[in-house]
């Protein structure tokens, strides 16, 4: 587990998009950080999230610390009104994170179950070609009918 890479250890089959990899709150937080043009403090993120739902400042803080520990966020220390504080930014932009995570799942699947993955793909591509062919046949019949 290299320090630079995001640590994703599991894929949640029922999760939608990012929530296949992250918890609900982690997902909300990282989306806020991705949307920002500059690094954000915990307070920044907290102010945005509290508009949607009641949440404690320390909940946001703990979860951002955890995203940092998991390698999805990076941070530096700054000085401000509250003393020393962290300023966070994403380690990878959204598309790169998704790409890396999906690749990790697929690599693991291929390594563990290469033959099953291969036959799934062959089956899937054949199925789609069949649908294309069916549609093509129908179209050809329809055109013949018009001319007939």
Partner DNA sequence: AACCCTTACTACATGGAATAGTAACGTTTA
Partner DNA sequence: TAAACGTTACTATTCCATGTAGTAAGGGTT
- Rounded Cα–Cα distance for residues 21 and 41 (Å): 24
Residue among 114, 25, 81, 12 nearest 33 (CA): 25
Phi, psi of 95 (to 5 degrees): -65, -40
* Cα–Cα distances in angstroms (integers) from residue 51 to residues 3, 48, 131, in the given order: 34, 6, 47
> How many positions of this chain bind DNA (CB under 7 A)?
30
- Rounded Cα–Cα distance for residues 63 and 42 (Å): 10
Cβ closer to DNA: 56 or 125?
56
**Residue 148's binding partner, choosing from a second copy, DNA, none, with beta-carbon cut-off 5 to 8 A by kind?**
none
- Here's the x/- map for DNA, 58-77, by CB under 7 A: it reads as xx-xxx-xx---x-------
For DNA, the binding residue among 11, 39, 43, 94 (CB under 7 A) is 43
For DNA, which stretch binds (CB under 7 A), given 56-64, 92-100, 118-126, 138-146? 56-64
Report if residue 81 touches DNA, rule: CB under 7 A.
yes
For DNA, which stretch binds (CB under 7 A), given 50-58, 97-105, 113-121, 124-132? 50-58
Report if residue 10 touches a second copy, rule: CB under 8 A.
yes
- Rounded Cα–Cα distance for residues 65 and 42 (Å): 9
- Here's the x/- map for a second copy, 106-125, by CB under 8 A: it reads as x-xx--xx--xx--xx----
Residue among 112, 102, 107, 113 nearest 8 (CA): 102
CB 114, min distance to DNA, A = 24
Strands of the sheet with 40-41, listed across from one edge: 40-41, 83-90, 73-80
Q: Which residues bind a second copy (CB under 8 A)?
A: 8-17, 20, 98-99, 102-106, 108-109, 112-113, 116-117, 120-121
């Amino acid at each position: 587990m290299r320090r630079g890479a995001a640590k994703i250890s599991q894929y949640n089959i029922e999760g939608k998009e990012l929530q296949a990899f992250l918890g609900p709150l982690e997902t909300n937080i990282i989306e806020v950080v991705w949307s920002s043009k500059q690094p954000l403090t915990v307070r920044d993120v907290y102010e945005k999230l509290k508009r949607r739902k009641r949440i404690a400042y320390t909940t946001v803080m703990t979860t951002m610390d955890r995203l940092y520990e998991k390698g999805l966020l990076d941070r530096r220390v700054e000085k401000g009104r509250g003393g020393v504080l962290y300023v966070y930014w994403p380690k990878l932009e959204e598309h790169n994170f998704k790409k890396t995570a999906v690749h990790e799942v697929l690599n693991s699947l291929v390594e563990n179950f290469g033959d099953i993955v291969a036959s799934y793909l062959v089956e899937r591509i054949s199925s789609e070609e069949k649908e294309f062919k069916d549609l093509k046949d129908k179209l050809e019949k329809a055109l013949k009918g018009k001319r007939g």
